[in-house]
Structure 1
Amino acid sequence: MRSFDLKKYLIYFLLMSMAGVIVLTGQAIGMKKQFVGAIPGMFLIIALALLCFAVKDMFPKFPLPAYALSTIVGMIVSIQALPFAKIIAPEIGTVEFMPLCTPLLAFAGISVGDKIEQLKAMSWKIVIIAVVVFTTIFFACALIAQTVLTYQGVI
């Protein structure tokens, strides 16, 4: 178990807050949603993410990466049968999903940017993998959409 580094978490909080401002600005401009009204929800998202980073740092042998842990924590806090979900879920629900994806995808692209040499080493094989993954995801999404829309009686 490692010690808690307050300076590191203050930097994390600052960076996540800057990303949160980008998200809420994009939400206000693109979706005409209220900026100020979504601040508590963004703060809760940041707090949960920091909690997941702290758990991952304190238990480095924990088998899941921090982003997977944060996904599980997010699902748990939104289970409506739990008492705290009635408070947390509506607040987090004020933050729209699509504006949240924009900085996340940008950060993912930046994180891949320093691995260009590794991608070059894979050469043509990466193209085959990408085509298989994209095709599989496309058909899986189409199947899910078809099932849900059929079940709802839309089609």
Structure 2
Amino acid sequence: MSDSVVAKETTRPKIDLVDHAIVLIIVCLVGLVMNTVGPAIPLMDGFMGMIVIYLISMAGLILTRFAPFYLPSVAWISLVGIVATLPWTPGSEWIVAQAKSVNFLALATPALAYAGFAIAKKEIEVAKHSGWKLALVACLVFLGTYAGSVLVAEAILKLQGI
């Protein structure tokens, strides 16, 4: 059993914190531009919010790299963000106030655009081999998501008497 634990630990991805820090700075700058241009949030308000988000992200990446057990970086970043904004965490009110000045839809737009462009060759091959089955499943997922959203919206509207 100890061999499997050692084997899993050796396959843990090594995160280059310097590279991630540089990429995060670039992403934050693009996000700051989108935050200022799109929803017209003042530059300095968005800047402080981006610094807070950057620090939370870096803290999560540091935990991913050095924690005694492995969790994916998205889990560590989420945990750091949650703990930093809990009401009993010192300074949480300030962190929440700064983060409120960042429009997360403005941050999601460039990320989703990049994800659309970043289709790998392997994914194209999977789509070719899956053919009509993949298209059918995708259509059913879209339909189910849309129908579920409609049902939730209708229920909320009815509860509010609208």
TM normalised by structure 2 equals 0.74
* Distance (Å, rounded) in 1 between the aligned partners of 2:106 and 2:69: 33
* Distance (Å, rounded) in 2 between the aligned partners of 1:131 and 1:48: 37
Query: Which position in structure 1 is the counterpart of 2:84?
Result: 77
Off by >6 Å, runs of 4+ in structure 1: none
Deviation string, structure 1 residues 51-74 (Cα, Å, up to 9, x no partner): 222323335963x53224433443
Query: Which position in structure 1 is the counterpart of 2:50?
Result: 42
TM normalised by structure 1 equals 0.76
Which one of 2, 10, 26 corresponds to residue 18 of structure 2?
A: 10
* Distance (Å, rounded) in 1 between the aligned partners of 2:30 and 2:161: 36
Tell me the SS of whatever aligns to 1:20.
helix
Which one of 89, 92, 95 corresponds to residue 102 of structure 2?
A: 95
RMSD: 2.8
Letter in 1 for 2:151: L
Tell me the SS of whatever aligns to 1:112.
coil
* Distance (Å, rounded) in 1 between the aligned partners of 2:146 and 2:82: 24
* Distance (Å, rounded) in 2 between the aligned partners of 1:127 and 1:28: 38
* Distance (Å, rounded) in 2 between the aligned partners of 1:125 and 1:37: 48
> Is the aligned partner of 1:134 residue 2:142?
yes
Letter in 2 for 1:21: L
Max radius of gyration: which structure?
2
Instruction: Tell which deviates more after alignment, 85-94 or 121-130.
Output: 121-130
Residue ranges of structure 2 left out of the alignment (5+ in a row): 1-8
Tell me the SS of whatever aligns to 1:80.
coil
What number of residue pairs does the alignment pair up? 150
* Distance (Å, rounded) in 2 between the aligned partners of 1:144 and 1:82: 34
The 1:31/1:66 distance shift into structure 2, 3 A limit, reads same
Residue ranges of structure 1 left out of the alignment (5+ in a row): none
* Distance (Å, rounded) in 2 between the aligned partners of 1:127 and 1:27: 35
Query: Which position in structure 2 is the counterpart of 1:67?
Result: 74
Contact 1:38–1:94 (8 Å) recurs in 2: yes
Task: Report the identity percentage.
Answer: 23
Deviation of 1:130 after TM superposition, in Å, equals: 1.3
**Does 1 or 2 have the higher relative contact order (CA < 8 Å, sep 6+)?**
1
